[in-house]
């Protein structure tokens, strides 16, 4: 499948065909969810937790969601309040999210691993009630003590601490319970998720009712869905929305990702729809047990969040004989922007979709925004028919990336080619400058990982007053490899030639590359680690 992208040469804007929404955007997602849950057989399984060994039926999920909505209503919470959620994918998380939809109260989902992010974002959203995993209770309590919000545990409960079961009481006449109507229309905020935080502190990204209703994916009632992403991430929300509104069975787990475990999940549950990062599926395709027979149940793999090497895509497609691999591009603020369904131009993220419009801008010395044409690099700006409601309680940060006409700066650098395919170059904040020449860390990383003995790499810049940004690289090599810094620098000299793209700050050998919970590279963190290695040991090898 290839989407059509047209080019307006006069205004230098690329446009995709709009897609009619399946659900009325002026209808609350809570009302739609109630209707869809009630329409399913009560005993049909909608969710299976592999880590907890539990099953949740549509009937039970609906009852629990109504109980949560009823409790929020009793507390007097509405669309102008926020519910805080700090948790992984556990059995009762989904009914809490749906209960928030039904009551029209937006939730702010966060991953339990980062206490400082909890403190920072909840200070903005100020939740009136918080649900969290038992293991995260003390972390959440420490981060939110000034809010005085009651905290309920979702799992691994603690003695003397309120738990979700206290709320899940039967609601009289539940079959007649109705969702709260939209107070602010289709653009009413229904979910708040953190930005990726890869280039700085995370911000609270608003997702509107209209946006959530558009995120139903490629699913139907027979689909078996899986992702390691929790609902603090766009793909995590997408799978929950698809599961509730379109049916099928969603597989969840709190166990960490390994390629072996991912393959086990696919095999055990005959998964049909997968979402994740290129790193996850690339590692999966390297397993000897990754075969066409094992992957025969898979219909669609949607991957995104970071760049997918053509070689990685080729390896994945080699055994995906009954399904399709979709290389996607999007942002937390906008959602999906482009898709590439085929093995044509695999070095791109495909064509625009869903009514997205795109323009490429270059900032020239007089600070005037110059629009670029085909095959000309610049910052990627996107406009969609679904309005983005900005960062919660942060108009300054919103204004930094969205102009008065609703165009959003993705923060990425790229270009559109003559056929309307989008090429990504790098994050604009990651572009470095050495001796007056701009260069992309990503290009150097791709070259390094093309070495057979290299498993992963991260390139960062260290500023020098005379020369500018000196490129350094954190590199993970295969166990037993004898690859040296000289081998890598010699290879780069042969491949990249120009001095400003070489590793003028050197190579650091590390055990792993730091990434966030959804696979995105944490470049600043890796720079910090490597500089600390050099400072403490005088070596460029992590001391084991």
The CATH number covering residue 486 comes to 3.30.300.30
Q: Which of 12-16, 62-66, 527-531 has the lowest mean pLDDT?
A: 527-531
pLDDT at 191 over 60: yes
Residue at which a domain ends, from 167, 185, 203: 203
Q: Are residues 424 and 438 in the same domain?
A: no
pLDDT at 95 over 70: yes
H-assigned helices in 319-415: 395-401
Using 50, 70 and 90 to split pLDDT, how confident is the model at 108? very high
Q: Is 419 helix (H, G, I), strand (E, B) or coil?
A: coil
Name the burial class of residue 539, with classes exposed (0-12), middle (13-18) and buried (19+) by CB atoms within 10 angstroms of its CB: exposed
Q: Are residues 169 and 34 in the same domain?
A: yes
C-beta neighbour count of 309 within 10 angstroms: 16
Using 50, 70 and 90 to split pLDDT, how confident is the model at 543? very low
**Range of 533's domain?**
432-537
Q: Are residues 138 and 157 in the same domain?
A: yes
Percent of the chain with pLDDT over 90: 74
Q: Are residues 190 and 62 in the same domain?
A: yes
Q: Are residues 15 and 29 in the same domain?
A: no
Q: Beta partners for 360?
A: 380
Question: Using one digit for the tens of pLDDT, what is the confidence trace for 388-435?
Answer: 999 999 999 999 999 999 999 998 889 999 999 999 987 777 778 887
Cα separation, 119 vs 115, in Å, equals 6
- Identify how many contiguous H helices and E strands the chain contains and give both numbers: 14, 27
Alpha-carbon distances, residue 152 vs 82, 86, 103, 230, 494 (angstroms): 15, 10, 18, 18, 58
Q: Are residues 410 and 470 in the same domain?
A: no
Domain assignment of residue 499, yes or no: yes
Q: Are residues 269 and 350 in the same domain?
A: yes
Domain assignment of residue 251, yes or no: no
Cα separation, 261 vs 263, in Å, equals 5
Domain assignment of residue 144, yes or no: yes
pLDDT at 336 over 60: yes
CATH number of the domain encompassing residue 43: 3.40.50.12780
Percent of the chain with pLDDT over 70: 95
Which two tokens mark 80? 């102008």
Number of domains in the chain: 3
Q: Are residues 417 and 437 in the same domain?
A: no
Name the burial class of residue 193, with classes exposed (0-12), middle (13-18) and buried (19+) by CB atoms within 10 angstroms of its CB: buried
Mean pLDDT (the chain) is: 91
The residue-averaged pLDDT of 525-539 equals 81
Residue at which a domain ends, from 361, 395, 428: 428
Contact 447, 433 (CB under 8 A): no
Domain assignment of residue 514, yes or no: yes
Q: Which of 75-89, 166-180, 205-219, 480-494 has the lowest mean pLDDT?
A: 205-219
If one compares 459 and 519, the residue with the highest pLDDT of the two is 459
Q: Are residues 129 and 191 in the same domain?
A: yes
Quick one: pLDDT at residue 468?
83
pLDDT at 13 over 70: yes
Cα separation, 113 vs 111, in Å, equals 6
Q: Are residues 182 and 107 in the same domain?
A: yes
Domain assignment of residue 222, yes or no: no
- Give residues with Cβ within 8 angstroms of 393, minimum separation 6: 124, 125, 204
Q: Which of 10-14, 126-130, 237-241, 276-280 has the lowest mean pLDDT?
A: 276-280
Question: Using one digit for the tens of pLDDT, what is the confidence trace for 481-508?
Answer: 999 999 999 999 998 878 888 998 999 9
Cα separation, 193 vs 84, in Å, equals 10
Alpha-carbon distances, residue 218 vs 27, 29, 275, 323, 481 (angstroms): 22, 18, 11, 12, 42
Question: Using one digit for the tens of pLDDT, what is the confidence trace for 422-457?
Answer: 999 877 777 788 877 778 888 899 899 999 999 999
In this structure, what DSSP letter does residue 13 have?
A: E
Q: Are residues 316 and 293 in the same domain?
A: yes
Strands 107-110 and 83-86: parallel
Cα separation, 306 vs 248, in Å, equals 28
Q: Are residues 331 and 394 in the same domain?
A: yes
Contact 202, 194 (CB under 8 A): yes
Using 50, 70 and 90 to split pLDDT, how confident is the model at 22? confident
Domain assignment of residue 81, yes or no: yes
């907890």: which residue's tokens?
52
Residue at which a domain ends, from 160, 180, 203: 203
Quick one: pLDDT at residue 18?
84
Quick one: pLDDT at residue 19?
81
Which two tokens mark 511? 């055990």
pLDDT at 114 over 70: yes
């Amino acid at each position: 499948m290839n989407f059509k992208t047209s080019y307006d040469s006069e205004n230098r804007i690329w446009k995709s065909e709009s897609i009619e929404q399946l659900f009325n955007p002026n209808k609350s997602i809570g009302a739609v969810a109630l209707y869809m849950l009630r329409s399913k057989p009560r005993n049909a399984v909608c969710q299976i937790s592999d880590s907890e060994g539990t099953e949740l039926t549509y009937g039970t999920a609906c009852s629990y969601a109504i109980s949560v909505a009823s409790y929020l209503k009793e507390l007097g919470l509405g669309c102008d309040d926020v519910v805080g959620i700090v948790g992984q994918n556990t059995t009762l998380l989904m009914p809490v999210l749906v209960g928030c939809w039904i009551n029209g109260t937006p939730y702010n989902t966060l991953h339990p691993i980062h206490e400082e992010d909890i403190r920072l974002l909840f200070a903005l959203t100020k939740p009136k009630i918080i649900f969290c995993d038992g293991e995260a209770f003390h972390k959440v309590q420490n981060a939110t003590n000034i809010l005085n919000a009651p905290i309920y545990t979702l799992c691994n409960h603690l003695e003397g601490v309120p738990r979700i079961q206290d709320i899940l009481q039967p609601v009289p006449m539940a079959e007649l319970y109705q969702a709260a109507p939209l107070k602010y229309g289709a653009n009413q905020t229904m979910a708040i998720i953190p930005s990726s935080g890869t280039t700085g502190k995370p911000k609270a990204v608003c997702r509107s009712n209209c946006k959530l209703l558009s995120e139903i994916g490629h699913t139907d009632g027979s689909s078996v869905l899986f992702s390691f992403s929790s609902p603090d991430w766009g793909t995590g929300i997408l799978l929950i929305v698809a599961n509730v509104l379109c049916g099928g069975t969603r597989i969840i787990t709190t166990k960490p990702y390994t390629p072996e475990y991912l393959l086990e999940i696919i095999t055990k549950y005959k998964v049909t729809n997968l979402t994740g990062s290129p790193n996850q599926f690339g590692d999966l395709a390297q397993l000897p047990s990754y075969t066409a027979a094992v992957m025969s149940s898979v219909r669609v793999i949607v991957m995104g969040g970071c760049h997918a090497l053509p070689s990685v895509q080729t390896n994945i497609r080699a055994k995906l004989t009954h399904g399709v691999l979709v290389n996607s591009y999007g942002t937390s603020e906008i959602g999906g922007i482009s898709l590439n369904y085929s093995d044509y131009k695999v070095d791109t993220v495909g064509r625009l979709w869903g009514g997205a419009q795109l323009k490429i801008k270059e900032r020239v010395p007089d600070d005037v925004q110059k629009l670029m044409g085909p095959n000309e690099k610049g910052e990627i700006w996107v406009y969609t028919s679904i309005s983005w409601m900005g960062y919660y309680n942060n108009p300054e940060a919103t204004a930094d990336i969205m102009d008065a006409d609703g165009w959003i700066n993705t923060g990425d650098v790229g270009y559109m080619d003559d056929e309307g395919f989008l090429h990504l170059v790098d994050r604009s904040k990651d572009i470095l400058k050495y001796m007056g020449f701009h260069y992309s860390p990503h290009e150097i990383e791709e070259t390094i990982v093309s070495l057979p003995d290299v498993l992963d790499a991260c390139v960062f810049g260290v500023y020098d007053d005379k020369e500018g940004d000196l490129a350094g690289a954190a590199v993970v090599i295969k166990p037993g490899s004898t690859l040296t810094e000289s081998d890598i620098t010699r290879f780069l000299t042969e491949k990249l030639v120009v001095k400003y793209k070489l590793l003028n700050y050197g190579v650091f050998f590390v055990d792993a590359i730091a990434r966030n919970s959804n696979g995105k590279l944490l470049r600043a963190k890796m720079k910090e680690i490597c500089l600390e290695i050099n400072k403490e040991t005088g070596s460029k090898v992590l001391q084991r």
